[in-house]
Amino acid sequence: MTTKVPATLERQMDEAISHYPPDQKRSASLPLLHLWQEHFGFISDEGGTWIAAKLGLEPINILELVTFYPMFRQAPAGRKQIRVCRTLSCAMAGAYPLMKNLARLTKIDRGEGGGGMHSPVAVSPDGEFSIEFVECLASCGTAPVCMLDDELHENVTPESAPDFLTRSQKNLSSRVGEARRGTSQVTRDVHLVGTPGVAGEVPLRPAADRDDSVIDGLASFQQLPESIRSLPPHPLEHRMIFKNIGREGYTTDIDCYLQNGGYEQLRAAVRMTRTEIVNEVKTSGLRGRGGAGFPCGVKWSFIRPDETKPVYLICNADESEPGTFKDRYIIHQDPHQLLEGMLISCFALNVHTAYIYIRGEFPEGAKILGHAIEEARAKNFLGRNILGTGFDVEFYIHRGAGAYICGEETGLIESLEGKRAYPRIKPPYFPAVLGLYMCPTIVNNVETLCHVKHIIAMGGADYARIGRPNNTGTRIVCVSGDVVRPGYFEIEVGAVTMGQVLHELAGGAKPGRKIKAVIPGGSSAKVLRAGDTFKLKDREISFDDIPMDFDSLAAVGSMAGSGGVIVMDDSRDMVWTLNNINEFYAHESCGQCTPCREGSLWMKKITDRMLSGGGVTQDPATLKNVADNIAGRTICAFGEACAWPTQSFLEKFPDEFAGRAQKPVPPPRPPEYTSEELITEPEIPTAPLANDAGWEKAGAPGTV
């Protein structure tokens, strides 16, 4: 081997390996790949072979990870790597012209129609910069966003591209304190980019009217002038999980957390029996906040009290559903709240080892959590014999590497075991029975685990009085897109309507525009058309009157999902919107199931062609047919996630899709196939078949 591995790097790798059971070294594959790439810049074949030998694996076991997870590179990138988010909220805010400007300024040729291409990474001629599109960076409220190496930069408009590059070249991380809806780095670690002004809910002033001297060079939230600090919660909000987010003077260190009543609920919980804690969570009616909305206490009750195998808890911090940006703020600004919720959960479930599976795109968040874990251990809240109870528990951070499918709990478990994130079939592989290392495992979302400490504080019955029956507590909704004040809002479940979220909390549509459509639960939720009326039990309600709870949103044909509310106004082309969503799912399909692997790409290719002027009259029907044959036919819910947008956009906006599908049906060809002449020519001549070749069954007339 020609590459010399420094002793310090190998020690870091040995430390990472120690976080997993001795007979499960493969779990350290992703951590070792991250360490190797951070040191050498990319994963060479030699590097993959070395890591495989270190873990007792075959080189193919490492290569399959490098080729699956988008964050890993097999060739060097530029000295400064720029990753631009291209998913819906950022695309609506100007991500594509931003990419075009960045490529022009860095003299990078992304090829014809570079569009949303993710790879290969394009490098500038001088080797200084590399640029690539990436999927959602979980900061949709401050779109457009991009990452420069490990730093998140927000509100990077196309016009601010020159300033952004100038700052990066001078290595000036002009970081300022965080306004309430500003950057999601820690409160003292915020970057201000370009001419738009400070990120946040404070209206942005034109550059000519702004005093940059007030902002430039500030280093902490406390140094910000009052006019651009976080505003108090809106009267419609009910702050519980986000009580300390954006709060002046609140820091991430454990002393601040303790001064504000931190870890008191853990002290109370360890005086309770495990059954009492589980019953309080069941009584609370808490439903998972990650997307599925499954009752948390019911999930916990699947763990047998007399279980002899090790039981694991996994915190799902792989926040990657487009439109969702709540967990990032908890991790970056109130990490001990998450740790306390996890500790109570571990005590209740007799868990001695827990993992936080955090997005690879949250490097700063991983550092913050790592520091918080060490602080908690130093205070005896974590480690051996916590609080003198005789109970031992350890937490470890496991970074993902850019795969959306890891948000699915069994895919996440496969990834944590050091494999490709291929979801498992349920049954038999329900995590509570056969989870991590084939042991009982509970997987809960960040926000869900934070609620546990508040349930212990107030009691399950009192918690259940917040919200509505079967829709209890609070939840965080993340509003992005075409509104005046995008951002996060914590509301009592069901006590606030769609209209109140859009018009009162988020400020309504931008001047001169009207809201056209809303995706209420992240990009996989079915779109709702503004102005429609809906049947809700025994009454009819308007779009604005839809209660923002799990059951009501399901009843009107969509879902609460992850709480990501994406708003589109009347300037938006719905074919373009769906095409952006289709590209996301085509890129993020794990490829395990044929309907999803092939169908998601077919849908993207068809909407690509429709946007290019090659839409044929059969395309809307073909799109629906493809989507219908994905939903319900895959191992995991990704099939529904990629099919539902297509099904609902076609249903809600048929005229727009028909308007893009005007050309005669061409000679028989695969439904997703796009030829140059189909786009450039008004029609392609056809001749009747001598007999029926069966093309009708493929959705096209019997002509060639």
Give the start-to-end residue ranges of the domains of the chain.
7-66, 80-201+214-228, 254-465, 468-569, 574-698
Residue with tokens 């989507």: 627
Instruction: Indicate the class that CATH gives domain 80-201+214-228.
Output: alpha beta
Tokens for 321, please give them: 């559903």
Peptide bond into 144 cis (omega under 30): yes
Note the pLDDT of residue 197. Answer: 27
Q: Is 509 exposed, middle or buried (0-12, 13-18, 19+ CB in 10 A)?
A: buried
Q: Is the pLDDT of residue 196 over 90?
A: no
**Does residue 201 carry a pLDDT above 70?**
no
pLDDT of residue 695: 52
In this structure, what token pair is assigned to residue 228?
């651009």
Residue 207 banded pLDDT, cuts 50, 70, 90: very low
Record the tokens describing residue 41, joined without a space. 């810049």
Architecture field, domain 7-66: Orthogonal Bundle (1.10)
Superfamily of chain region 254-465:
NADH-ubiquinone oxidoreductase 51kDa subunit (3.40.50.11540)
Tell me how far CA of residue 348 lies from CA of 56, 342, 376, in angstroms. Answer: 36, 10, 18
pLDDT at 570: 97
Write the pLDDT tens digit of every residue in 452-476: 999 999 999 999 999 999 999 999 9
pLDDT of 138 > 50? The answer is yes
The DSSP output letter for 22 is: T
Report, as an integer, the average pLDDT of 83-108: 96
Crossing angle (nearest 10°) for helices 95-105 and 161-169: 50
For residue 681, the model assigns a pLDDT of: 82
pLDDT recorded at residue 704? 41
**pLDDT of the residue at 678:** 80
241's CB contacts (< 8 A; 6+ apart) are: 330, 337, 447, 450, 451, 454, 474, 476, 490
Quote the pLDDT of residue 381. Answer: 98
pLDDT tens-place string over residues 356-378: 999 999 999 999 999 999 999 99
> Which residues lie below 8 Å from residue 427, measured CB to CB, with a gap of 6+?
none
User: Which pLDDT belongs to residue 690?
Assistant: 54
Which residue reads 């934070």 in tokens?
450
Whether pLDDT at 101 is above 60: yes
The helix or strand, by DSSP H or E, that contains position 278, with its residue range, turns out to be: helix 274-284
What would the mean pLDDT of 119-125 be, rounded to a whole number? 80
Burial category of 113 from C-beta neighbours within 10 Å (exposed 0-12, middle 13-18, buried 19 and up): exposed
Euclidean distance between CA atoms 135 and 474, whole angstroms: 28
- Three-state SS for 213? helix
Residue 172 has pLDDT above 50, yes or no: no
pLDDT at 203: 28
User: Which of residues 121 and 39 earns the better pLDDT score?
Assistant: 39
Helix H or strand E segment including 72: none
Confidence of residue 111 (pLDDT cuts 50, 70, 90): confident
CB of 348 within 8 A of CB of 278? yes
Please say if the pLDDT value at position 483 is more than 50.
Answer: yes
- Whether the per-residue pLDDT at 70 is higher than 90: the answer is yes
For residue 590, pLDDT over 80 is answered with yes
Q: Measure the CA angle with vertex 150, ends 342 and 326; round to 5°.
A: 40
The pLDDT assigned to 180 comes to 35
The rounded mean pLDDT for the chain is 88
Predicted confidence at residue 166, as pLDDT, reads: 87
Residues 518-526, mean pLDDT to the nearest whole number: 96
- Cross-strand pairs, 490: 476
Report pLDDT for 73.
94
Instruction: Please tell me the distance from the alpha carbon of residue 433 to that of residue 414, in angstroms, as a whole number.
Output: 15
The more confidently predicted of residues 221 and 8 is 8
Q: What pLDDT does residue 179 have?
A: 32
pLDDT band at 299 (very low <50, low <70, confident <90, very high): very high
Confidence of residue 292 (pLDDT cuts 50, 70, 90): confident
Residue 226 has pLDDT above 90, yes or no: no
Cis omega (within 30 of 0) on the bond before 70? no
Alpha-carbon gap, residue 94 to 130, rounded angstroms = 20
Residue 3 binned pLDDT confidence (cut-offs 50, 70, 90)? confident
Q: What's the CATH architecture for 468-569?
A: Roll (3.10)
pLDDT of residue 691: 58
- Of residues 188 and 567, the one with the higher pLDDT is 567
d(CA 103, CA 585): 25
pTM: 0.89
- pLDDT at res. 301: 95
DSSP state of 17: H
pLDDT in tens, 234-275: 999 999 999 999 999 999 999 999 999 999 999 999 999 999
Q: Average pLDDT for residues 581-601, to the nearest whole number?
A: 96
Sequence length of the chain is 704
Average pLDDT over residues 88-115: 89
What average pLDDT score do residues 518-542 get? 94
Percent of the chain with pLDDT over 70: 86
Q: What pLDDT was estimated at residue 294? A: 92
Any idea which fold 574-698 has?
A: de novo design (two linked rop proteins) (1.20.1440)
Confidence band, pLDDT 50/70/90 cuts, at residue 677: confident
Q: Which pLDDT band, with edges at 50, 70 and 90, does 167 fall under?
A: confident
Query: Average pLDDT of 328-335?
Result: 96
Tell me what pLDDT residue 537 has: 82
